[in-house]
Amino acid sequence: MCRGGRMFAPTKIWRRWHRKIKVNQKRYAVVSAIASSAVPSLVMARGHKIESVPELPLVIGDSAEKTSAAIDILKQVGAYPDA
């Protein structure tokens, strides 16, 4: 007696799950995303609360080892309401 049964809507072998994308197109997408994160109106349109953030894009280094330290850094900068 089988317990598993068949899978609903099984993955098809002919579906292209991993599509090849040109390297230049990938680079252009990354550069566009980084550039759009510097525009406050676009960031606010995505639902982020950035009224108290001093500048965009806000870059914080890898100085926080623990979560509590990261929360303290975000509170100091004024970006914690968005976290």
Are 53 and 77 in contact, with CB atoms under 8 Å apart? Answer: yes
Q: Tell me which DSSP letter residue 64 carries.
A: -
Q: Does pTM surpass 0.75? A: no
37: which residues sit within 8 A by CB, 6+ positions away? 43, 56, 57
**Mean pLDDT, rounded, for 20-49:** 93
Instruction: Say which residue, 73 or 17, is predicted with more confidence.
Output: 73
Name the one residue in this structure whose structure tokens are 């090849």: 20
pLDDT at 24: 98
Q: Tell me which DSSP letter residue 81 carries.
A: G
